[in-house]
Amino acid sequence: DQQVKQNSPSLSVQEGRISILNCDYTNSMFDYFLWYKKYPAEGPTFLISISSIKDKNEDGRFTVFLNKSAKHLSLHIVPSQPGDSAVYFCAARAWGGKLTFGQGTILTVHP
Amino acid sequence: ETGVTQSPTHLIKTRGQQVTLRCSSQSGHNTVSWYQQALGQGPQFIFQYYREEENGRGNFPPRFSGLQFPNYSSELNVNALELDDSALYLCASSPGPASGGLGTDTQYFGPGTRLTVL
């Protein structure tokens, strides 16, 4: 039972354009959502998070949107840069600290 | 500020053996969580330790066990290794366990230990 799904295995974007990564979840008990970026041979790096009481959180080029009624969140990166090329994971947390991760989306930003 | 560190970086074991992986948490963090990431998948929660006690466990058999020490570092032990245990094992530390959605317990990951079981 995949409670957190990232349905796009990969995304290719031109440098300077917007990257939109999507994530859907099924568990209504999730109260906190995070995005991580992962380079090969490294652990996931925390990017941005959002509480379930908000619908938007912004940090520089990164914005996360949460649509609770649709159980959907998205990460917008604008403008995209080649250094943003990595695997992006969304994660969701229910009470207790356990993070449930999606399968990841490989983002490639072309110069 | 020192981040999360893990050792060893890589490890090769044979089926049936036992393995111990180690993690040092980030300074000021008292909670450690362990995850298993198989190839092409997202990390899967194994368990979490808070103040030296297990504070939640995922869907992993009892041969996966752990410890947390007074300095908040942690070990993951896996007995009777199976081929499917081959994966990247990630440790994450946080300032505390879940705190009701306020975001103060964001988990920060180490680089992982790549375990190969032959």
Tell whether the torsion through CA atoms of A75, A80, A82 and A83 is positive or negative.
Answer: negative
Quick one: tokens of A68?
């609770």
Establish if A32 touches chain B: CB-CB under 8 angstroms.
yes
Going by C-beta distance under 8 Å and a sequence separation of 6 or more, which residues neighbour residue B104? B95, B96
Nearest to B47 by CA among B2, B102, B91: B91
Residue of B nearest to A4 (CA): B42
pLDDT-derived band of residue B56, with 50, 70 and 90 as boundaries?
confident
pLDDT-derived band of residue B103, with 50, 70 and 90 as boundaries?
very low
Residue of B nearest to A90 (CA): B42
Question: What is the C-alpha to C-alpha distance for residues A26 and A24, in angstroms, rounded to an integer?
Answer: 7
Question: What is the C-alpha to C-alpha distance for residues A82 and A70, in angstroms, rounded to an integer?
Answer: 31
pLDDT in tens, chain A (111 residues): 679 999 999 999 999 999 999 999 999 989 899 999 999 888 999 999 999 999 999 999 999 999 999 999 999 999 999 999 999 999 998 866 688 999 999 999 999
Question: What is the C-alpha to C-alpha distance for residues A19 and A74, in angstroms, rounded to an integer?
Answer: 10
Condensed to tens digits (0 to 9), the pLDDT of residues B60-91 reads 999 999 999 999 999 999 999 999 999 999 99
Min Cα distance B92 → chain A (Å) is: 9
Residue of A nearest to B47 (CA): A98
A residues 89..108 contacting B (CB < 8 A):
89, 91, 93, 95-104
Question: What is the C-alpha to C-alpha distance for residues B97 and B51, in angstroms, rounded to an integer?
Answer: 10
Residues of B in contact with A31 (CB under 8 A): 100-101
User: Which of B100, B106, B110 lies nearest to residue A34, judging by beta carbons?
Assistant: B106
Q: Which amino acid is at A107?
A: L
Condensed to tens digits (0 to 9), the pLDDT of residues B25-55 reads 998 888 999 999 998 899 999 999 988 999 8
Establish if A65 touches chain B: CB-CB under 8 angstroms.
no
* A99–B103 C-beta distance less than 8 A: no
Q: From residue A103, how far is each of A17, A87, B43, B118 by CA, in Å?
A: 24, 10, 8, 25
What phi and psi values does residue A80 have, to the nearest 5 degrees?
-75, 145
Nearest to B25 by CA among B42, B46, B5, B39: B5
Residue of B nearest to A103 (CA): B42
Q: Which alpha helices (H) appear in A21-80, and where do they start and end? A: none
